[in-house]
A and B are shown apart, each in its own frame.
Chain A
């Protein structure tokens, strides 16, 4: 199962307002159901239910899929988030990096206190590394994008508990 494919399917679901997609990869012997839970707020994104599958999959696969999915596209997911954090949207399209270079420390982690001067991340566009500053002061609640992932303009990057 291709993680990128799952991410794209989830984005498609959110865009098209779909509730459920069943996937089958007969070669790998995997069946997967992507389902939007409208009742209970999903931890990050639409839940990925592993219906049946080869031994090689199991927990890590599902875990990976859940963790890797940007909650970004789902306005559904975001609506729930508004209760617990202020989203920091991306000011540009590009590639998201959590640190200045592969060897450096990440700029922020969950729990870190930030001010409007704090650099949260880098967004790279056309080889230019743009430092993205926080718009609010508070504590990082959640990081919504994976290192190295593409982001679009307006896509929520972080959730901050303002104070």
Chain B
């Protein structure tokens, strides 16, 4: 087992990893930038090292600084958390050559799964459905028409060199495909210098279903159930839950089996998540693998009773997975709300600054993972998430009720937060019915996020 782990991250996940280490009797080294000198979890670390100024590029993303810190502090493993260097295969490779264990998958696995085209091909080879597409560039409109006819409308025309939603167009029939094809191509040429486009089936208002994977270094891989992360705003998750209200037991089993098949095909090690889109017609399609621990891992921890971060550490240390798939039990229903310091009335502009009063909720069925406290100054340099609030009860409706109670109790004075929006969503009839998809936020809060639930104003 490791003697000392360096946590190459910050905020609530740094706190999470330190907690896991303390319970395992492992020493911790916390690195921090000058902007995080007042972080509360630094007090629990055995050693703290300032590694750079506020800018992430010069601190949390600076590989030589992180490795230097690990070396001077004599750490034998590094936990990368999520974000930052957690899916950087170069960093994982450097750790390996410095004889420091990277707590996560192998560098080669991270590289392969990080390439979305390669990942799709891998899923396909594993016999898992992928979003049907042209599987390569489409050179002219004749080819586009042929491919579209084969896949079926609606079609998404995507720029090969694009990203972030740019250079994308939806076509619902052949005429709009033709005009869309040319428009997307010239837009891409202008924006990215490369007019190459490819086609994908457009899955209309899908649900986002992801499966938690855990694997040891000896070839054993299990799934720990799914999470439904359909409540998103501009592809950022706001609310996650498990189990998904959209899955029948049969569909659940198929999706989870597909996830394990992908992981097996990739010789996956440690923790990871396989993501799918679920269409209204009940078809599901692989989209990608997140080769790291995720923000919403706590949801799975609550329903399975497992400590995923401790498992990560133990698997990375070479231990065998101490249970079989048939041993995994799922209890009750868990929901997570991400608490962000953002102003929903100003298009979710970040709202950093001093928290004058922080009074967290509590009581039965409530879990809060947060590094914030009264008097804490939220630095403006990093993401705006200040905590994750979870509710776990025997049934979904009870979990929702507990979550609403917890959000009502939660006092955060100073910065603006997304708590009012989250309450609105939880009280919305569609969400209560479990009949929501990734279009939910845009549909009800797209133009006027401040409007209370139930009113679909389009003014």
Residues of A that sit less than 8 Å from B by CB: 15, 92-95, 124-126, 128, 150-155
Contact = CB atoms under 8 A, between A and B. Distances in A.
A34 B34 CA distance: 28
B250 to A, nearest CB: 52
B67 A153 contact: no
Interface stretch (B48-56, B426-434, B436-444): B48-56
Interface stretch (B68-76, B160-168, B233-241, B316-324): B68-76
B50 A94 contact: no
A14 to B, nearest CB: 12
Interface string B44-70: 000011111100000100011101110
Given A152-B50, A153-B50, A125 B34 contact: no
With most chain B CB atoms within 10 A of its CB, the pick from A125, A128, A154 is: A125
Interface in B248-278: none
A101 B72 CA distance: 19
B68 A126 contact: yes
A154 B64 CA distance: 16
B149 interface: no
22 contacts: A93-B49, A93-B50, A93-B51, A94-B68, A94-B72, A95-B68, A95-B71, A95-B72, A125-B64, A125-B68, A126-B63, A126-B64, A126-B67, A126-B68, A126-B71, A128-B64, A151-B72, A152-B69, A153-B50, A153-B53, A153-B59, A154-B50
B34 A92 contact: no
Contacts of B65: 92-93, 125, 153
Contacts of A151: 72
Nearest to B66: A93
A93 B67 CA distance: 9
B64 A153 contact: no
Contacts of B52: 92-93, 153
Nearest to B72: A150
Contact of A153 (B51, B63, B73, B94): B51
B191 interface: no
B67 A125 contact: yes
- Top 7 nearest A-B pairs (CB, nearest first) are A150-B72, A125-B68, A152-B50, A94-B68, A126-B64, A153-B50, A93-B51
Contacts of B64: 92, 125-126, 128
B98 interface: yes
A91 B390 CA distance: 40
Contacts of B73: 150
Given A126-B67, A152-B51, A93 B72 contact: yes
Nearest to B37: A154
Interface size class of B (residues with CB under 8 A): 20 to 34
Contacts of A152: 49-51, 69
Contacts of B94: 126
A92 B94 CA distance: 19
Contacts of B51: 93, 152-153
Given A92-B52, A93-B52, A126-B98, A154 B34 contact: yes
A93 B70 CA distance: 10
A124 B68 CA distance: 8
Interface string B350-378: 00000000000000000000000000000
Interface string B65-94: 101110111000000000000000000001
A55 to B, nearest CB: 33
A133 B330 CA distance: 59
A98 B194 CA distance: 52
Contacts of A94: 68, 72
A146 to B, nearest CB: 13
A98 B69 CA distance: 19
Nearest to A130: B64
A93 B72 CA distance: 9
A155 B51 CA distance: 10
A163 to B, nearest CB: 28
Interface string B24-39: 0000000100100000
Contacts of A93: 31, 49-52, 65, 68-69, 72
B409 to A, nearest CB: 32
A151 B53 CA distance: 15
Contacts of B53: 153
Given A93-B50, A126-B67, A128-B64, 7 more contacts: A92-B64, A93-B65, A94-B72, A150-B49, A150-B72, A152-B50, A153-B59
A127 to B, nearest CB: 9
Nearest to A124: B68
The winner among B52, B72, B94 for most chain A CB atoms within 10 A is B72
Nearest to A150: B72
A117 to B, nearest CB: 24
A126 B95 CA distance: 11
Contacts of A15: 48
B11 to A, nearest CB: 18
Interface in B96-151: 98
B90 to A, nearest CB: 13
A125 B31 CA distance: 15
Nearest to A149: B72
Contacts of A124: 68
A92 B58 CA distance: 9
B377 to A, nearest CB: 18
Nearest to A155: B50
